[in-house]
Structure 1
Amino acid sequence: MDARTTIPERMRASELLAQDSLTVGDRPVPVPAADEVLIRVASVGVCGSDTHYFTHGRIGPFVVEQPLVLGHEASGVIVAVGEGVDAARVGSRVSIEPQRACRVCEQCKKGAYNLCPEMQFFATPPIDGAFAEYVTIQSDYAHDIPDSVSAHAAALMEPLSVGIWACQKAGVTAGSRVLIAGAGPIGLVTAQVARAFGATEIIITDISEERLAVAAQHGATRALHASESVEEMTVDAFIDASGAGPAIRAGIPAVKPAGRIVLVGLGADELTLPVNLLQNRELWLTGVFRYANTWPLAIELVAAGRVNLDALVTHTFGLDDVENALMAGRIPGALKAIVEPWR
C-alpha cells in the first residue's frame, strides 16, 4: 500500500445473506495485491442482476451460498496501490471495469477476455461486488476519468459498455436503421450509442408508455408500444434489451436480409425462433456476454457529450437502504438507482 495514505482497517458493506435477506456488515478493508489498486467507492449503479440475486438468490448456475456483496457498476478514487503499481495513481478518479480475467487462455489472448472461463466478475458468486466503502481491482481495470465526468456517470460506464458492445456486434454505423426492444436503462444507453455511431433511425419498443415517453431524450427517433407491429419495417439491426420472448419474435421479421440480431436482455433459457426466416434471409443472430475493450470509448463518448449518463439517474440511496435501491425499479418514473456507500 502507499504509505502516504491512511486507510482504516475496517469498512461497511451491504451483504446479501440469502434470498430477500440483506444486512450491513463490518469487514476488513481489502489490501491491494501487487498489481491492484484500492478504491474508495463513490457511486454504484443498481443493475437488474443485483435485483435478481436479491429476489431469487441465484442467476442460472450462480447461487448465493455465502454472504455476497452486490453491485458491479462502480466508480471511486484510488487511495492506495499495490507494490507493482505507480504510486502516482493515488488520488485518481476512476471508473471500475469490474472483472479479472486470467489473461493467458485462448479467449484472453485473442482479446475476447469477456469469454475467459476463469473470469472473476464483481457481484457474481463467490466474488464480492461494490456495495461497500472500499474495493480492489487490477490497476489497468481502473480507468481514469476526466474531471468533467461525474462519479455517477463514471459508475454507469459499465451499462454503457454493454450498449457499446451490442452496437458493435450489430454492426451499427453511419446511416444504420436500428430497432431496439426495451426502453429500460440498457435499451436507452444502447439508443444513445447507436446515435453516436451514426444511426439515422432508432426505433424503441416497450410496454411502458412512461418509458417510451423519455426514449426520445435518449436517442430514439421513434417510440412504439410493444403491441404495435414492426413487421413492415426494414432495419439493418435488431437489438433486444428486454429479454422478452414475444418482443424478440416480433422484432426478427423487421430485419432485412443479411441483417443482424443481437440478444442482450436476460430472459428464458430457451426460446422458439423463426428458423426458416433466419435461414432464408441469412440473418446473423448472436448474444452479448458483458463486453471487452469498451471503457476507453465509453469514457470518450461521455466526455465529448455524445452520451448522457447522468440523465438516467433518478434515485440515490445509502448502504443502509440497499434493499430500497434494489426495488427502486418499481417506483413510477424510475430509471437508474445509485448507491452511495459514504452517504
Structure 2
Amino acid sequence: MDKVNKLMTTLVKRTEEEGYEIEQAPTPQPTEDEVLIRVTKVAICGSDINLYKWNDVAKVIAALPFTPGHEATGIVVAKGSEVKRLEIGDRIAVENHFYCGDCYQCKINRGDICSKMSQYGHGKGTIHGGCSQYSILSEKYCYKLVHNISDVEAVLLEPMGVAHNAIERLEVKGERVLVIGCGPVGLLAVACAKALGATEVIAADILPARLELAKKMGANIVINSRDGGTNHVKEEIMRITGGDGIGRICEASGAAMMLNGCFSYLRKGGRVTILGLPKQPLHVENVLQDIVFKSLTICTVHGRRIFHTWEECERLIAEKKVDAKVVVSHDLPMSKYKDAFQSLLSGQACKIVMDPQT
C-alpha cells in the first residue's frame, strides 16, 4: 500500500492570466464513492492550450479555480466507504467526461454525450485535475486497467479512445481510409484504422515530420497538403482510386477548408467522421452533387463510448496492434511544466506527457 503524503504538489489556475501556479496543497481525503489516486502520468492535449492561455474558448469550457490535466492515469491509494468496484492498488485511467447519470442520454447508456456533462481538469464540477500528485474522483469515472500496459500507454487511452470511436463509426474493415490531419489524435486514428481492418490508410498533413510519424503508425500513403490544400488532396485521391473517390474519411485537422472540400472526393455511399474541431462554418459548394445525391453517412464523435472504447483500446495496445507511444515527443517531470507548454505552443511537440511525482 502506498504511503499517502499529507501535502501534494499541484498546478492551479486561480486568475484570468496565462499560465499556472505550482503550489503545495493538503492531500484531499476521499468520501462516499470517491477514490484518491496517485497520478503516475498526465498528458497535455492540444485543447489545453486554451486553458493555459485563458482565451475566449477557455472561458466557456472551464471555471476558475481549477487544476488542469484531463488525460490522467494513476493508482488507487485510498477510497471512500461506498466504493464497490475498485480496490487499493488498482491501476486506473480517468474518463474525463463526468456524466450526470440522470439526463435522457445517461438513461439510455450514452453518458459519453451527457447533456449536463462536466469535465475533469476544467473546474466545472470539480477543482481536481491530473496535473497533481494526487487527485480525487468518483469511481464511476475510473476505467480499471486489466492488462499490463505502461503508464505512458495508459495515459494515451483517452486520446486514442477518441480516435478509436471515430474510426469504429466509419466501419473501415475492407475499406480504403483517408485521415486528414496528423496531430496526436489523427495519428492514433491512422493506427486504429489499420488495426480495425482497413485495407489501405492514406494520411494527409502539412508537416513532413507528422507524415513520417503517420508512416510509423501504419499509413501506406502520405500526402503533403501544404501546397494546394484540399485541391491537391482531391487530385491525389482521385488518382489513387481511379476516379471513384475514397470510401472512408476521418477529418482530424479541424481546418474548415479541408472539411468543406472532402465531400467532393468522398465516394458515393461513403462515410465521413468529423473528429477535428473546425472554428469556421461548414460550407459545401455543390450540396446536391457532393452530399445529397451521394447517399453519404456523416458522423461526429465527442469523446469515447463508456467503457467499450477503453476496453478495445487497451486490448489493441496490449496485443501490440497499436503502438500508441509513437505519438509521444516529450516525457517530462511536471516541475518543468512551463517547458512543456512552451514546446506545445511553439509547434515543436507532438504529444507531451508529464510525471506529477517529479
TM-score normalised to the size of structure 1?
0.91
Q: Is the 8 A contact 1:18 1:67 kept in 2?
A: no
- Secondary structure of the residue aligned to 1:210 is helix
Note the C-alpha offset of 1:333: 5.8
1:176-207: CA deviations, max 9, x gaps? 11111111111110111111110011111000
Mapped to 2, the partners of 1:15 and 1:60 lie a distance apart of 15
Matches within 5 A, 1:1-343: 6-16=3-13, 17-59=15-57, 62=60, 64-86=62-84, 89-126=87-124, 127=126, 128-146=128-146, 148-172=148-172, 174-226=173-225, 227=228, 228-231=232-235, 232=238, 233=241, 234-274=245-285, 275-276=287-288, 277-293=290-306, 294-329=309-344, 334-343=349-358
1:268 & 1:14 partners in 2: Cα distance? Answer: 29
CA RMSD, 1 decimal: 2.1
**More moved, 330-339 vs 288-297:** 330-339
1:288 partner letter: V
Q: Which AA in structure 2 matches 1:325?
A: A
Q: Deviations over 1:266-322 (max 9, x none)?
A: 221522124221111122223221122211111111111111112221212223322
Q: CA deviation at 1:82?
A: 1.3
SS at match of 1:243: coil
- Kindly state the Cα deviation for residue 72 of structure 1 after the two structures are TM-superposed: 1.0
Note if contact 2:256-2:280 (Cα within 8 Å) is conserved in structure 1: no
Give the distance between the partners of 2:8 and 2:310, measured in 1 at CA.
28
- When structure 1 is superposed on structure 2, of 69-78 and 52-61 the one drifting more is 52-61
Please report how far the alpha carbon of residue 147 of structure 1 lies from its aligned counterpart in structure 2 after TM superposition: 5.8
1:146 positional shift: 4.6
**Residue type of the alignment partner of 1:319:** M
Instruction: Specify the SS of the correspondent of 2:131.
Output: coil
Amino acid at match of 1:148: N
CA–CA distance in 2 between the matches of 1:309 and 1:136?
26
Preserved contact between residue 180 and residue 202 of structure 1 (Cα < 8 Å): yes
1:246 aligned counterpart, secondary structure: helix
Q: Percent of pairs identical after alignment?
A: 28
Cα pair 2:50 2:58 within 8 Å, conserved: no
SS at match of 1:257: strand
Measure the CA separation in 2 of the matches of 1:167 and 1:280.
24
Instruction: Name the SS for the 2:323 alignment partner.
Output: coil
**Counterpart of 1:70 in structure 2: which amino acid?**
P
Rounded to whole Å, the distance in 2 between the matches of 1:60 and 1:329 is 17
Moved more, 126-135 or 322-331: 322-331
Q: Do 1:179 and 1:204's aligned partners in 2 also have CA atoms closer than 8 Å?
A: yes
**Contiguous gaps of at least 5 residues in structure 1:** none
DSSP-derived class of the 1:32 partner:
coil
> Is the alpha carbon distance of 1:85 and 1:215 closer, same or farther for their aligned partners in structure 2, counting shifts above 3 Å?
same
Count of residue pairs brought into register by the alignment: 339
Q: Mean alpha-carbon deviation: is it higher for 17-26 or for 181-190?
A: 17-26
Query: How far is 1:34 from its partner?
Result: 1.8
**Matches of 1:149 and 1:63 in 2, distance apart?**
31
Closer, same or farther in 2 for the Cα pair 1:243/1:305, shift >3 Å? same
How far 1:37 sits from its partner (Å)? 1.5
Partner of 1:143, secondary structure, is strand
Q: Kindly provide the CA deviation profile for residues 108-153 of structure 1, in whole angstroms up to 9, marking residues without a partner as x.
A: 1222212112222112243432111111222243223256311011
Q: 1:87 to 1:181 in 2, by over 3 A?
A: closer
Amino acid at match of 2:68: L
Unaligned regions of 5+ residues in structure 2, if any? none
CA distance in 2, matches of 1:48, 1:332: 10
Letter in 1 for 2:176: R
